[in-house]
Amino acid sequence: MRETLRTRLGWLHAWAGFLVGLIATCIFMTGTLSVFDEEMTRWMQPENQVPANAPLTDTALDAAAALIHEQQLRGSSVFLTLPSPRSPTLDVLHYDGQKFVGTLFDPRSGVPITVRATMGGTFFFTFHYTLLAGTTGTRLVDILGIILLVTIVSGVVIHLRALVPDIVMLRLSAARLRGWLDAHLLVGVLFLPFTLMIIYTGTVVNANLILPATPLTHLFAPEKPETPATGPAVTNAAPPPLPALAPLLATARRSLHGREIGFILFSPDRLSLYASDASGPFLTRDHADFSLPDGHLLGTTTTPGPIAHTIQAMHGLHYARFAPLGLRWLYFLSGLCATGIIASGLVLFIMKRRRASGLRIGFRIGEGLTITTVTGLPISILVFLWSNHLLPATMTGRDRLETGLLFGAWILCAGHAALHSTSTSMNTAWRPQLVMIALLGGGLPVLDIVTCPHAVRSLWAIHAGMDGMGVLAAIMALYARRQLRG
Amino acid sequence: MIFVIICGLWLLAFTCHVRLQPARYRFARLTPPGRCMAIMGRVAAPACALMLAIRPDGMTGILTWFASLSITGLLVALWLALRRRTAA
């Protein structure tokens, strides 16, 4: 009876894991990169060389306020993000339907900084939770999260007897399949707390999209087109001039119990100063409101209560915006290992079925898709980074071209894997793609030093981290290639 | 620094765990007093690590505790695998 349960759960774990794992690998890989999304944006905009913790001056605030008022007069809906250690510029932004764009100010002098147009780290963040398919994509990601939780629970039940005794068991000298299984189990068990936490919180933060409080008929109703944020939120009366922002910031900090201010939203009759996401593990939208044009404090809005705190903690844990640098690195490493769990599961699924079904068309497609996911996505991410540094900084539409090149490279990888799916050994597809990762990843530091020497010198930590990740990807790819024999 | 100490405590816990499974990990069997010490170490070391981790900040501490478990466990497993391979 027990064996029957394990067998059935094994079937569920394998098939659900494989089908969901193909997309989950992409979600986890981009989510892991999103841990350093701000840093990636800074790497991809080498013109912005403002050091972390640059002091914010009244001059800069006045310059930003003048631009905001000018934009408001033109009917644009903009907001202001304040400098933080991760993103030290003062940014006047609006949403263009894909990303936040606008003017970056040096917080010390108030001088606008001209930077190249790029999606930056935002691309990975957006891809991670929407698959670039808007609300429908977010719903899909949420459903995949639930299936992934089922897969994990079934995997734990299958492995329950050896879960604790074999917690540090890895047999590299055993047969190749045994070695892969050990690696999958080892990383799966050791990183189980992180994996469960990140999938559960990720599912909960957008749970309202698949389990709405409103009737289900609304859920499947056709989506309304988004209101273009750049479009005029026209009011009849001209917006009043903004008061000096520095005193309001000080008042808001006091009203929000000493928390730093993250961003400011502007409406016709008031402005709202929101607590920074980095100010604590509970990700809130607590804010202080001030009237316009005189700047009197209208009051503070907080969301107390255990339910609100629970959901704030879920958001905080998943987004990790409160995390100091060390903990952020731990999130990143755990994310890499969680990606490795799913990727190794995909490879195991293929390896186990190669002997029995290796010549079937379904198997060939499955292996082609696995290659496209496991090696194709890293290649396209590296192409994205290379194109950012190689395309002219002033080129029109370069941000769209960067994204286009990423998807172009991914399609080429898929085509390459499909082309080799007719050959007897799929190593002929794995090997060139692994070599490509090694070339692009290993060449990243050279490219960075050659194309942006000033930025490498002034922001060496960010550039060393990014380039180091490229080199790490190259080393891992070369190691994997060496292991592919025959 | 605290992170290193927490990792060290996890290392102790994993070492005790491995010594308590001599057949699986190919180690010599412990004497009864040694076994008793290993069981105590396996329980006490993670508890001490947890107390140390959550002292400055609860949520960050718990996240650090779990992450250090994972990373130290991975390093111990790699060391054991290399030891096994060398022995083979």
Q: What is the pLDDT of residues B12-50, one digit of tens each?
A: 999 999 999 998 888 889 999 999 999 999 999 999 999
Say which amino acid occupies A68. Answer: I
A334 at the B interface (CB within 8 A)?
yes
- Interface ipTM: 0.94
Q: Which residue has tokens 């405590």?
A: B9
Name the residue among B64, B77, B88 with its Cβ closest to that of A170: B77
Burial class (CB within 10 angstroms; exposed 0-12, middle 13-18, buried 19+) of A218: exposed
User: What totals of helices (H) and strands (E) does chain A contain, helices first?
Assistant: 17, 8
What is the structure's pLDDT at A237? 67
Q: What percent of chain B has pLDDT over 70?
A: 99
- Rounded CA gap, A114 and A46, in Å? 10
Query: In chain A, which residue's Cα lies nearest the Cα of B76?
Result: A168
Mean pLDDT of B53-59: 89
Which DSSP helix (H) or strand (E) runs through A290? strand A287-291
CB contact under 8 A, A313 and B59: yes
CB contact under 8 A, B73 and A337: no
Say which amino acid occupies A212. Answer: P
Query: In chain B, which residue's Cα lies nearest the Cα of A188?
Result: B70
What is the structure's pLDDT at A228? 46
User: Which stretches in chain A have pLDDT values below 50?
Assistant: 226-234
CB contact under 8 A, A191 and B25: no
Mean pLDDT of B4-10: 96
- Chosen for mutation from B15, B66, B75, B83 (greatest number of chain A CBs closer than 10 Å) is B66
- DSSP letter at A374 equals I
Looking at CA atoms only, how far is residue B63 from chain A in angstroms?
8
What is the structure's pLDDT at A161? 86
DSSP letters spanning B48-74: HHHHHHHTT-HHHHHHHHHHHHHHHHH
Q: What is the pLDDT of residues A171-218, one digit of tens each?
A: 887 788 888 899 999 999 999 999 999 999 999 999 988 887 766 555
CB contact under 8 A, A168 and B73: yes
- Rounded CA gap, A366 and A357, in Å? 11
Query: In chain A, which residue's Cα lies nearest the Cα of B22?
Result: A165
Total tally of structural domains belonging to chain B: 1
CA torsion A327→A104→A394→A391, rounded to 10°?
Answer: 0
Looking at CA atoms only, how far is residue B10 from chain A in angstroms?
12
Burial class (CB within 10 angstroms; exposed 0-12, middle 13-18, buried 19+) of A301: middle
- SS3 for A194-241, per residue? HHHHHHHHHHHHCHHHCCCCCCHHHHCCCCCCCCCCCCCCCCCCCCCC
Q: Which two tokens stand for residue B56?
A: 């400055």
Determine the structural domain holding residue B12 and report its residue range.
2-87
What b/e string do you get for B60-76 counting C-beta neighbours within 10 Å, with b at 16 or more?
A: bbbbbbbbbbbbbbbeb
Q: Are strands A287-291 and A100-105 parallel, antiparallel or unpaired?
A: unpaired
CA atoms lying within 13 Å on the CB side of residue A329: 9
Q: How many CB atoms lie within 10 A of CB A397?
A: 10
